[in-house]
Structure 1
């Protein structure tokens, strides 16, 4: 088994985990956590009035403290953060990717942003109602829909950022395109002129591509609209499904079982997909949509709130099971692992027990999250639990995370508590079995030492 893992699984996992493009996507989105968190918090605070039981008192309290326009600040914060998420992603991904190639990244991210903007429609449909006249709808230059900047265009932004950066970095290495200025020129100016022609060539190339796309391929549709039609919409529909959720959970924990950081390896693929679905939920929640069937299930912080309780493998359930079973042998490990485990940090348990490369723990470590994923997905899809409508830090403690991720709905906390109980129930038999194995081994060792003493 270990030979098979070393020969076939480890090389693939290492290659995937070290892919420059996936790392750039993951690092950029993680680096945007302050933006997404404050935007999510603003949406959450503005919409707590829709939560049964606390909604009306909450709104009365906010009106009495801040007046009728109390939610203006939250709306402004949402507009300055989540509404422009794709723009931030383009800058971040291009910068990170260029840096991975040894470039300083500054010019690359500006060129990538210019390439993205030139692929956005320049004309928007605007309805104007003259005083005393009828409404007139038509195209107006300079009006750009915000859907081209928020999470709806995230895939387009990722593609453009990667493509533009790759072109720019490669052209920057062509010595015939590099303009060298005298030594007395300030370094900043020299660097800008050195990459002047590569930057211009990159923008021209992407612009020509956009023109060819509209003229001969997409029937006049711009890149984002065309991708949504042929790729993003079908792919997103496949992502928000129970089979895809189970696949993610299985791969994450399969990698962890052999000592590889599953979330980091797959983060470049899963993060943008789930982030997009999560932002769609946030936008609908901000608009006051009450039809739960319209929300995505596998979105945003779904796994952190309902599956990764205590970290990957739901190891908070393992810690509780060890307390229940009275595992005195692991007293120090429990003391070291419990405080960080409450905040979803479980490396002390993964490598201290250990779970990594320990076949005894493979079954509960993988089976528990799979069962929890099934329970959580079905509970939300059947309308028993409110969908995820807020982004939460991955270190948010279990149960509290379920409450906050669902916009303050108690059903989210109940689901997280039920899943925690499920993980405890799955781990407990293995904890007891492991204790019996260790006790039998200690008795055998003691008997062996006694026999050796008698023989002497």
Structure 2
């Protein structure tokens, strides 16, 4: 099995995980965590007044009826322009991977994105006014379009900068910043012109439909619906832990695919929550920090359950491992366990390591789908948030989120506990066999 994995799986997994485009998407979206987190908490604090009435009355008595204005302003400055930040970040990261400084590339990519956005928006009591653009073209609704444009525009720009005929070289005495800008002047202009013509031709072929609207209708909506499903959730969790089984960082390898999807769905939920939408059926389930809050308790493999199981049934045998693994495990960091126990490449431990998260995913998904638990309504929480607290924050301060996380933790303990007993018995047999082999035989 190991030979098969090393020969046929690991090379492709490494190639997939090291793809420059997926890395650019993942790193850019992760780099936006300060933006998404402060926006999430702004929405959370604004809506806590509806959940915890005394809190709402206290805030209103201190700051007046407009006490939610700050949270609304923070939401507007973060989530309302999420795609714009993504375009800048992805283009910059991708250009850097080619050895470019990324500054001109991200500006050109942003210009290409803006020129593909409708220039006429609908305003009440008018037929349409030029320049009024709905924020739906800038928030997470347009995230997929922003990713596509950022990648394509950067690729075109970088390739044009490598054509010597397009490079304007100034004398040596010119400041480097000025010389660098002029060197990329023609490639930048050509890239924007190419995307302008492409956008015009696209609208001609689609009877005036803009790229973002077309992508959302034909690709994004079906893909999002498929992603927000139990089979997709199980597949992602299984693949993440399958990669970990052979020592590959599963979340990082799949991050280029999962991060945009989860961010988009989480932002959609945050927007609905900020608008006070009470119909829970309109919220996505596999959104934002769903896995961090309800599945990855203690890290990948829900290894906090393993730590507690060791305290119950194997404290003496795993004394040093518990001392090393417990403090970081509380904060969702489990590399000491993964490589110290070890779990990686260990056939016995891999059974609960993979099965526990899959079962917990099914439980969490169905609990939210059936209305037993409030859905995830924030786009992100610190991934190091301890179990229970993460569920509480992810659901907008609903106790049901904390309860679900603790129930899943209990499930992981129950799954790991038999394996702690089994490995203990195996260790005892191995120790007795070693003692027997070392005992000298007396002949008489």
Q: Does 1:82 align with 2:79?
A: yes
> SS of the residue aligned with 2:318?
helix
Mapped partners of 1:453, 1:21: distance in 2: 66
The residue aligned with 2:259 is: 271
Mapped partners of 1:235, 1:120: distance in 2: 22
Give 1:453 shift: 5.9
Mapped partners of 2:267, 2:331: distance in 1: 24
Q: Does 1:184 align with 2:181?
A: no
Mapped partners of 1:227, 1:211: distance in 2: 16
Give 1:211 shift: 0.4
The residue aligned with 2:95 is: 98
Give 1:327 shift: 3.0
The residue aligned with 1:381 is: 369
Mapped partners of 2:86, 2:50: distance in 1: 31
Mapped partners of 2:138, 2:6: distance in 1: 43
> SS of the residue aligned with 1:344?
coil
Identify the match of residue 438 of structure 1 among 420, 427, 435.
427
Mapped partners of 2:66, 2:182: distance in 1: 50
Identify the match of residue 368 of structure 1 among 331, 356, 379.
356
The residue aligned with 2:117 is: 120
The residue aligned with 1:9 is: 9
Give 1:328 shift: 1.0
Give 1:344 shift: 0.3
Give 1:101 shift: 0.4
Q: Does 1:59 align with 2:56?
A: yes
CA offset digits 1:277-314 (Å, max 9, x no partner): 00000000000001111100000000000000000000
CA contact (8 A) 2:296 2:357 kept: yes
Give 1:65 shift: 1.8
Mapped partners of 2:198, 2:219: distance in 1: 18
CA contact (8 A) 2:314 2:420 kept: no
Mapped partners of 1:139, 1:455: distance in 2: 105
The residue aligned with 1:236 is: 224
Give 1:455 shift: 6.9
Q: Point out where structure 1 has 5 or more consecutive residues left out of the alignment.
A: 128-135
> SS of the residue aligned with 2:362?
helix
CA contact (8 A) 1:115 1:203 kept: yes
Q: Does 1:201 align with 2:198?
A: no
CA contact (8 A) 1:86 1:157 kept: yes
Superposition pairs for residues 4-43 of structure 1, below 5 Å? 4-43=4-43
The residue aligned with 2:414 is: 425
Q: Does 1:258 align with 2:255?
A: no
Give 1:139 shift: 1.1
Identify the match of residue 106 of structure 2 among 91, 106, 109.
109
CA offset digits 1:202-237 (Å, max 9, x no partner): 001111110010001x22111100100110011101
Mapped partners of 1:203, 1:435: distance in 2: 65
CA offset digits 1:228-266 (Å, max 9, x no partner): 011001110100000000000000000000000000000
> SS of the residue aligned with 2:126?
strand
Runs of 4+ with >2 A deviation? 452-456
Mapped partners of 1:307, 1:356: distance in 2: 19
Superposition pairs for residues 260-339 of structure 1, below 5 Å? 260-339=248-327
CA contact (8 A) 2:314 2:421 kept: no
Mapped partners of 1:57, 1:9: distance in 2: 56
Q: Point out where structure 2 has 5 or more consecutive residues left out of the alignment.
A: none
Task: State the TM-score, normalized to the length of structure 1.
Answer: 0.96
Mapped partners of 1:379, 1:49: distance in 2: 25
Give 1:73 shift: 0.6
> SS of the residue aligned with 1:126?
coil
Mapped partners of 1:48, 1:219: distance in 2: 46
CA offset digits 1:314-353 (Å, max 9, x no partner): 0000000000003312111101100100000000000000
CA contact (8 A) 1:327 1:435 kept: no
CA contact (8 A) 2:50 2:56 kept: no
RMSD (CA atoms): 1.0
Identify the match of residue 213 of structure 1 among 194, 202, 205.
202
Q: Does 1:137 align with 2:126?
A: yes
CA offset digits 1:390-448 (Å, max 9, x no partner): 12111000010000000000100010000000000000000100000001100110111
Mapped partners of 2:106, 2:312: distance in 1: 53
Identify the match of residue 402 of structure 2 among 395, 413, 436.
413
The residue aligned with 1:50 is: 50
How many correspondences in the alignment?
Answer: 443
Give 1:454 shift: 4.0
Mapped partners of 1:78, 1:307: distance in 2: 27
Identify the match of residue 358 of structure 1 among 326, 346, 367.
346
